Homo-oligomer: A and B are copies of this chain.
Amino acid sequence: MATKSKNKPIGNPTAFTQAAECLRTLAHPVRLRMVQLLLHGRYTVGELAEDCEVPDNVASEHLRLMQRCGFFTSEREGRRVYYKVAEPHLENIMNCIESRFLQSPE
């Protein structure tokens, strides 16, 4: 019964927990849009907030969450703060998501 030879993939429980945490951070429509935008350039909090149609402080909180996951870094320039992508795998994952959900502009 243990010799069923189903050769299961190995699974490190800790890794699944970490992966799930990052995916939860990604799993929000506003945050997905922010990732998509930041993969194409750098933006300020205000620019992201306007594009996503949320108040500035809400945008700021979403950005803070993603910064904690290591997705983004930020640099202040004058009174503006620019965010940009720091996690290189975000591009691959976003491509997968886009190919499934954002394909046909309808």
Given contacts A89-B100, A99-B89, contact A20 B27 (CB under 8 A): yes
A33-65: contact bitstring with B at CB < 8 Å (1 yes, 0 no)? 100110111000000000100000000000000
Interface size on A, as a range, is 35 or more
**Residues in B whose Cβ lies below 8 Å from that of A33:** 11, 16
With most chain B CB atoms within 10 A of its CB, the pick from A13, A31, A101 is A101
Q: Tell me the dominant secondary structure on chain A's binding face.
A: helix
| Partner among B20, B93, B99 whose Cβ is within 8 Å of the Cβ of A32 | B20
Bound together, the chains give a CA A33 to CA B17 distance in angstroms of 10
Bound together, the chains give a CA A89 to CA B33 distance in angstroms of 20
**Residues in B whose Cβ lies below 8 Å from that of A100:** 19, 22, 89, 92-93
User: When A and B form their complex, which 4 residue pairs have the shortest distance between CB atoms, in order from nearest?
Assistant: A23-B27, A16-B29, A19-B101, A24-B27
- Can you pick out 9 interface pairs between chain A and chain B where the beta carbons lie within 8 Å of each other? A6-B41, A7-B40, A10-B105, A12-B105, A15-B102, A22-B100, A22-B101, A24-B24, A92-B100
